[in-house]
Amino acid sequence: MMVLPFLLLFAGLVALAGNKRELGMGLWFLSLVVTLGLFALHATDTLSLQW
Amino acid sequence: MITPELSRQLNALILLGISGLLAFAFLDQFLLDDLPCPLCLLQRVGFVLAGFGFALNVVIGPRPSHYGVAILGAAVGAGVATRQVLLHIVPGSGSYGDPLFGLHFYTWSLIAFCLIIVASALLLLFEDQFRPTPGMIKREGWRGATGLGLVALFFFTLLTLVNAGSTFVECELGLCPDNPESYELLDEG
């Protein structure tokens, strides 16, 4: 799962190399969503902050 | 005044800088055997997400939406870095990895993401870069990129691919453990 955002971004960069801007930006956006999902999965512990 | 061509060069420089950060993290991983944690990996993704906007500017040409891509990517990375800073901000709550010049990598990372956002905002102030100049060459993908832009795109794409490979070796297809101690794929061998 953690490898997915890197792979999507690599595919997006390859799309850019082929001058396919819309496809590249679509893959970038997908990667952004996956990254936020992975962050939500990993940010589960409560922060030990006291005010 | 920043012409579209100058803007491409500046964006290529920033892209090279981001590639340098990714390369440094990679060197630290292998030379000092410092395995990246899940939040560290997500910060690397944040750098690639942000760098994608600058790559768009180098390949397609400068557009405000491309800077938006960079700012959004940096904001995601900054969010992850902030989370990691807050995890260790209370004295006695430990840290992850060795410090560099007194600050841990996640703190440097947060500073770098903030700098990327500020640099993007500063470049957005120069509207001349978005106006096509007479005789401007229409670029077509990487074939149109030259010199610095081509070098930056090559290293950035290579580092993205290498990070994908390294993450696969460390975590395989699942989620990474919070405190990784070995490369999961190599353990099976």
**Which residues of chain A neighbour B35 with C-beta distances below 8 Å?**
none
B73 touches chain A (CB under 8 A): yes
| CATH number of residue B135's parent domain | 1.20.1550
In a domain, A33, yes or no: yes
pLDDT tens-digit series, residues A5-42 = 999 999 999 999 998 999 999 999 999 999 999 999 98
In a domain, A47, yes or no: no
Greatest C-alpha distance within chain B: 62
What residues pair up with A26 in beta bridges, in sequence order? none
Instruction: Please choose, from the candidates B92, B174, B163, B49, the residue with its C-alpha nearest in 3D space to the C-alpha of residue A42.
Output: B174
Interface contact flag, B76 A17, Cβ < 8 Å = no
Range of the domain at B45: 4-188
A2 touches chain B (CB under 8 A): yes
Range of the domain at A32: 4-40
| DSSP H or E run through B70 | helix B64-87
pTM of the model: 0.93
10 Å Cβ neighbour count for B154? 14
Interface contact flag, B174 A1, Cβ < 8 Å = yes
In a domain, A49, yes or no: no
First to last CA, chain B: 58
B185 touches chain A (CB under 8 A): no
Interface contact flag, B48 A41, Cβ < 8 Å = no
pLDDT tens-digit series, residues B47-106 = 999 999 999 999 999 999 999 999 999 999 999 999 999 998 888 777 888 888 999 999
Instruction: Please choose, from the candidates B43, B42, B21, B25, the residue with its C-alpha nearest in 3D space to the C-alpha of residue B34.
Output: B25
Cα–Cα dist B71/B114, whole Å: 9
